[in-house]
Chain A
Amino acid sequence: MHGEPRITTALAKVLRAFLDDPSVPRYGFDLMRGTRLPSGTLYPILARLERMGWVVSQNEDVDPVVEGRPARRFYRLTEHGLRQGAHELMALSDALRPPATVPAALSPQGGRA
């Protein structure tokens, strides 16, 4: 089930949301809100991550009658997903970091001392 995904910005956002606290189960809608991704983008990413074994999903263990709502499905990072996700995000961050020679005018301080 393992494989290497192409790390897109959207995928990076999803991984970042999972890595915020890997022990916390994440629900589809909460991830949509956290990453600002629409369902049409988020669910394919979750499906791909699940197929690759980076996340696992399962339904809540609740009684729908008692709770008055159906059991939602949540996702959690696997050990493999945690390692690979962190590695890929760091690699992406390194690749996107502006060079040290960036002109002073473009720095966050706008060239002011």
Chain B
Amino acid sequence: MKVALAVILTAVAVLLAALLDLLKDEVRGQLERIPYGLLRLASRRVPPELREALHDREWLPELHHILAESERLPITCLIRGTRYALGLVRAARFVARELAPVRGPLPGETAHGGVRTCAKLAVGALAAAVSFVAGFGVFGAFGGAVVSLTGGLVVVVVVFDVTHDLRELGREREPTPWA
């Protein structure tokens, strides 16, 4: 009986220790995410066309440097990272307003990207409609063939271009290449 109790108590102790370890890792993981979360919040206060220039190319590398420098001191790391990110949450709008004329939008990033994509879709739909009508011989045999082919080509180009645009607009943040 005593042996069974000892075995059970040992098992419970091991289980509790493992659970505590997991809990510790979980808490540590969540705490480490705080500065990054705050920095993302700061980037939301910036116009979309400046987010890459400010968040991805300046603030995030700097935060990475700050955290790496105090890697062995988790609390210092958390405090420094959080202070850095919090300051930027406060200053993000001002920084963006000052830098908008200097750094401007990066290639492929425009505030009206969605509108432009819709316009391309409209052109594609029009080309598809013209091609469809041409199939009924409205433009004659030769004219119909030429219009159909041209319309089809336009549709293919538009589909290709819009697919690229949509990927850009809704792209997930790429995994950090240095990690």
Contact = CB atoms under 8 A, between A and B. Distances in A.
B57 A73 contact: yes
A48 B64 CA distance: 24
Interface stretch (A10-18, A34-42, A93-101, A104-112): A34-42
B91 to A, nearest CB: 4
Contacts of A38: 83, 87
A103 interface: no
B102 interface: yes
B interface, size bucket: 20 to 34
Nearest to A42: B87
Contacts, number: 81
Given A28-B58, A50-B99, A40 B87 contact: yes
Contacts of B60: 70
B102 A40 contact: no
Interface of B is mostly: helix
A44 to B, nearest CB: 5
A72 B95 contact: no
21 contacts: A27-B65, A29-B65, A39-B83, A39-B87, A39-B91, A40-B87, A40-B88, A40-B89, A44-B95, A47-B95, A48-B98, A59-B61, A64-B177, A65-B177, A69-B178, A70-B60, A70-B176, A70-B178, A72-B58, A73-B58, A73-B61
Given A67-B178, A70-B61, A73-B57, 10 more contacts: A1-B102, A29-B66, A39-B85, A39-B86, A42-B87, A44-B91, A47-B94, A48-B98, A70-B60, A71-B57
Interface of A: 1, 27-29, 32, 38-44, 47-48, 50-51, 57, 59, 64-65, 67-73
